[in-house]
Chains A and B, each alone.
Chain A
């Protein structure tokens, strides 16, 4: 029996996520956003969440809907302010959500470090800027660096293109973005995928996220077949 559970019910996929969890949410804008898992998380009801994601929601779906439902205590992201981030903007200005802004490369590397067992790292990004204030700095070979700590998730929600039944993942184009890094950085990684194929059907040379990082797979095609609807989740055009 596989250690990975492949399910077609989104609610089953997100079962057990606790209040107060740190949730890593994949996607760059809506590309790679795990919309079905987020919708299920809203129904599941976990609250007081810390969400780590590049943006802070676009339009009214996906992460924006989770924010609008009042489940997020803190956002850790690189670029919250966008033309279509009105949900986050309103909550932030009302003081209802905390914000930690992290340079995008440091955000990715902090999660990579968590997944790779690195205790901290010195980054040249942000040196001399407000985002380095209060952080330890060091000069190495004449260059200045800032100490950055790992960001570890209790849960990662990612969107991939294809999984096999063991949980190996393949992504599609720039929708890959934070998926592989987040999958490795969380204690519980849940991947929604457009298609699940039998073990052996993915070329091992092409696997991007090895199955060891994946705990649950939500088969969107299977979920759609169960419901008799379109397998592709509704997408909002990012601006």
Chain B
């Protein structure tokens, strides 16, 4: 059933990153997308043995490089200089995406413009006529990992929820998102619909009025 945290406000960006990190199983192979998902790496317990994949050809990616560590031949997918950890490996792009598309990664974490109640993801293109489309590895990541997590603010700047009945932005992937981490709560997307596992700064009842998707506390679900 839903755990409500109404005694506090919504999560800030760091708290959200820490919450995603909490839900990554020890020993997982994980890809953290460009932008906010990259912050999740700061909250992984080194003792948990999570191995980070970066699609430009590396397993065992370490933290961002500083000072003398900076090497222009060693970057993450956001083209930020990073470091390598003991046990790291390098491989070419086709191998990197084969390991992703082939279902070998346990979790990927992506940002989103919208997620639908069936787990469709829109995160690459606003569809604006003057926008230059750029997809990068988002479509491969969305459908490749065993679990696709999304982290985003629940509400857009205009106040509308980004968890929607149907995505109105161009899709990145279909039926691919399994869990959505937002500042106001965590949503599990499965065959029985959307279950709210936690709320932050809002009650389940209030959340249900602000999101145009049927939400469940999980209590009435079979199994």
Chain A residues in contact with chain B, CB under 8 A? 28-32, 54, 58, 78-82, 89, 92-93, 99, 101-109, 111-112, 123-131, 144, 171-181, 208, 235, 237-239
Contact = CB atoms under 8 A, between A and B. Distances in A.
Interface residues of B, number: 42
B173 interface: yes
A30 B144 CA distance: 26
Given A29-B79, A124-B101, A129-B171, A181 B134 contact: no
B132 A31 contact: no
B199 interface: no
Nearest to B143: A124
A28 B81 CA distance: 12
Contact of B139 (A89, A126, A175): A126
A108 to B, nearest CB: 4
B135 A103 contact: yes
A104 B92 contact: no
Interface in B60-113: 71-75, 79, 84, 90-94, 96-98, 100-101
B48 to A, nearest CB: 24
Given A103-B136, A103-B139, 9 more contacts: A78-B137, A105-B137, A106-B139, A127-B143, A129-B170, A173-B71, A174-B73, A181-B94, A238-B72
Contacts of A28: 56-57, 75, 79, 93
Contacts of A80: 132-134
Given A31-B56, A31-B72, A112-B94, A105 B100 contact: yes
A174 B134 contact: no
Contacts of B133: 80-81, 99, 101
Contact of A125 (B57, B101, B120): B101
Nearest to A172: B73
A131 B75 contact: no
Interface in B167-202: 170-174
B58 interface: yes
Nearest to A123: B101
